[in-house]
């Protein structure tokens, strides 16, 4: 999945603007903000970077997993991590950061964030730098084309302009097929590239395309050519060795899948429930690269 947006963002929490600027990010609130601005604290055996809150690194926008809606960051990932925060008795707050930092674990290692949640595929390469939770979503890649393009397969995009989001597995997949995709910095930029004719087709995570096609104008102009089952699984990441937090995330995921909460959130943010999406595998299992 999903580097800096091509449009300015407004801060949702003015009182943390100075701290956010210091980390070259932007703090956004997923729920109500905590008033405790202290340093690291330990809650239920989990050490948090900032007192009274679970700080999540993400990259916006990436609907339906995280995007700003009505002045607040919302989405499937946000809702699942809210469950972790509730178990710990704190509030979740979100720091918007470049996606490449998730691959290196930079913001986790610096203590700016406790975890990263960004519709991020578990790969062996990324596991060298971060620890992943159990998989929480089975993902596929979609090929979306302009209906007027005449493109009938992914192979047909050779010699034509294909788009993908930078630093994502969709981009890697296209390059692995010998293609040279145009890189865009966010999912919104990918869609805009398709709308404006900068590219005639894109490769991006299928749930993102599902969200786009809910808009009639998009559905009239574009069509899904292929749904590529690449064996990808999404996971939340924590700093290497942060077993207590990883265990807390896994506990919340297991309970959500057991009591029906996961299903309700899936239907709210993604669409008709696909039971296979609630994978019960382990983050240590083989995964797509």
Does residue 179 belong to any structural domain of this protein? yes
Residues 184 and 111 both lie in one domain? no
Residues 113 and 161 both lie in one domain? no
Question: Which residue range(s) make up the domain with 158?
Answer: 140-231
Does residue 112 belong to any structural domain of this protein? yes
Provide the pLDDT confidence category of residue 116 given band limits of 50, 70 and 90: very high
Residues 82 and 206 both lie in one domain? no
Does residue 90 belong to any structural domain of this protein? yes
Residues 105 and 176 both lie in one domain? no
Choice between 168 and 128, residue whose per-residue pLDDT is larger: 128
Count structural domains, the chain: 2
Residues 107 and 155 both lie in one domain? no
**CATH assignment at residue 50:** 3.40.190.10
- Confidence (pLDDT) at 28: 47
- Confidence (pLDDT) at 276: 67
Choice between 7 and 41, residue whose per-residue pLDDT is larger: 41
pTM of the model: 0.70
Residues 48 and 130 both lie in one domain? yes
Residues 106 and 43 both lie in one domain? yes
Provide the pLDDT confidence category of residue 13 given band limits of 50, 70 and 90: very low
Residues 37 and 167 both lie in one domain? no
CB-based contact 170:143 (threshold 8 Å): no
Does residue 2 belong to any structural domain of this protein? no
Does residue 189 belong to any structural domain of this protein? yes
Closest CA to 204 of 66, 58, 1, 4: 1
Helices assigned H by DSSP within 89-214:
100-104, 106-109, 169-176, 187-195, 206-212
Residues 25 and 106 both lie in one domain? yes
Tens of pLDDT, residues 208-257? 898 899 899 999 999 998 888 878 899 999 999 999 999 999 999 999 99
Does residue 4 belong to any structural domain of this protein? no
Residues 160 and 34 both lie in one domain? no
**Average model confidence (pLDDT) across the chain:** 83
The two most distant CA atoms of the chain are separated, in Å, by 58
Residues 68 and 196 both lie in one domain? no
For residue 73, the cross-strand partners are 68
Q: What is the mean pLDDT of residues 78-96?
A: 97
Query: Distance between CA atoms of 170 and 144, rounded to whole angstroms?
Result: 12
**Residues comprising the chain, all counted:** 289
Query: Distance between CA atoms of 10 and 21, rounded to whole angstroms?
Result: 12
* SS3 call for 234: strand
Does residue 6 belong to any structural domain of this protein? no
Residues 33 and 130 both lie in one domain? yes
């Amino acid at each position: 999945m999903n580097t800096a947006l091509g449009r300015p963002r407004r801060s949702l929490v003015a009182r943390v603007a100075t701290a956010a600027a210091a980390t070259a990010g932007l703090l956004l609130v997923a729920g109500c903000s905590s008033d405790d601005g202290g340093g690291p604290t330990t809650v239920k055996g989990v050490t948090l970077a900032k007192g009274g809150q679970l700080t999540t690194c993400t990259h916006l926008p990436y609907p339906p997993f995280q995007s700003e809606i009505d002045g607040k960051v919302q989405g499937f990932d946000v809702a699942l991590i809210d469950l972790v925060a509730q178990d710990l008795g704190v509030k979740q707050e979100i720091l918007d950061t470049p996606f490449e930092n998730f691959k290196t674990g930079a913001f986790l290692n610096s203590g700016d964030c406790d975890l990263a949640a960004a519709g991020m595929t578990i790969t062996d390469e990324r596991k060298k730098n971060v620890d992943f939770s159990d998989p929480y979503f089975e993902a596929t890649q979609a090929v979306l084309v302009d209906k007027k393009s005449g493109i009938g397969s992914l192979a047909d995009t050779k010699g034509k302009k294909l788009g993908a989001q930078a630093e994502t597995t969709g981009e890697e997949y296209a390059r692995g097929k010998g293609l040279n995709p145009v890189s865009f910095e966010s999912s919104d930029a990918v869609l805009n590239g398709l709308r404006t004719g900068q590219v005639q087709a894109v490769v991006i995570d299928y749930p993102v395309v599902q969200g786009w096609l809910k808009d009639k104008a998009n559905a009239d102009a574009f069509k899904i050519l292929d749904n590529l089952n690449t064996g990808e699984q999404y996971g939340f990441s924590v700093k290497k060795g942060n077993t207590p937090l990883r265990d807390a995330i896994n506990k919340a995921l297991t309970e959500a899948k057991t009591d029906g909460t996961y299903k309700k959130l899936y239907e709210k943010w993604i669409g008709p429930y696909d039971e296979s999406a609630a994978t019960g595998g382990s983050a240590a299992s083989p995964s797509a690269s």
